[in-house]
Structure formats: C-alpha cells, structure tokens
Amino acid sequence: MQLCVANIVQSFLVEKSNIIWRMGFTRIGADMLNIRATLPIAALKGDILQLMKEHDVLVVCGETGSGKTTQVPQFILDDMIESGHGGYCNIICTQPRRIAVVAERVADERCEPSPGSDGSLIGYQVRLDSA
C-alpha cells in the first residue's frame, strides 16, 4: 500500500515539475527562474546535493537573501523527483521568523496554490498559525 501511494505521489510530482519547467516559457516564469538562478546558493546546487547523499545532516550557512531557505529544499525535492523517489520525500525547514512569507514564495516558485489552500503541497506552522 505504501509503495502504491508513493508511486502515485511520484507521478503527481513529476507532472508538477513539468508545469514548473513550462512556466519558464512565460515572461513572468522566465523572470522568476532568472532571479532564482542569480541567487548565490544556485552556484552550489551540485555540491549541496552531493553532500546530502554523503551525509545524514548538512548545515547550510549563508547571508540573508542568498537562497538557503527557498532554494535548497527545492533542490532536494527536484532531485528526489528526478531519481524517482519524490513520493518518499518530506522536507521540513525550521525558521526563527517569517516562515509564512517564505512558504508563499516557495509556493509561487513551484506554481502551487497558496500554502494551506486546497491542492497545495506547501505549508507552514508557527505557534498558533498554520496553513
């Protein structure tokens, strides 16, 4: 049963990735992809993914606005989808503040409905507020 559910989720995630890829052919989508590509963390994508495969824990440090919070989880998810393991992937990020804004940004970048909306794969929880 778990394998069946994971396969269904994997198929869904592959389709969502295709939507993101097609988004690059719109002006707004191309602008967003260009902005993401210019973030400092983008140059380290390959290194981060390799280190994730070699270690159980990886601490990523960088300046505010470098893309640590919004991009690294997407690198990991996309890599898991491409390897056929997206259905088994759960990513949890901890933040001291402003997680709702981060969740909204990631939802926009992944062409998802707003966090907490029907069909959205993105969510957040802060004390008494969640979506």
Mind listing the pLDDT tens digit for each residue in 48-104?
A: 999 999 998 888 989 988 999 889 988 998 898 888 888 888 888 777 667 788 888
Using the predicted structure, report yes or no on whether residue 9 has a pLDDT greater than 80. Answer: no
Count of structural domains within the chain: 1
In percent, the amount of the chain with pLDDT more than 70 equals 75
Contact yes or no for 91/76 (Cβ under 8 A): yes
Q: What pLDDT sits at residue 21?
A: 59
CATH number at residue 24: 3.40.50.300
Q: Tokens representing 53? A: 């495969």
**Domain hosting residue 15, numbered range:** 2-130
pTM of the predicted structure, to 2 decimals: 0.69
Query: What letter represents residue 124's amino acid?
Result: Y
pLDDT of 34-64, one tens digit each?
A: 888 899 999 999 999 999 999 988 889 899 8
Q: What's the mean per-residue pLDDT of the chain? A: 80
Cα→Cα distances 42→34, 35, 96, 117, Å: 11, 10, 23, 29
Residue 54 CA to residue 51 CA, distance in Å, equals 5
Residue 6 has pLDDT above 80, yes or no: no
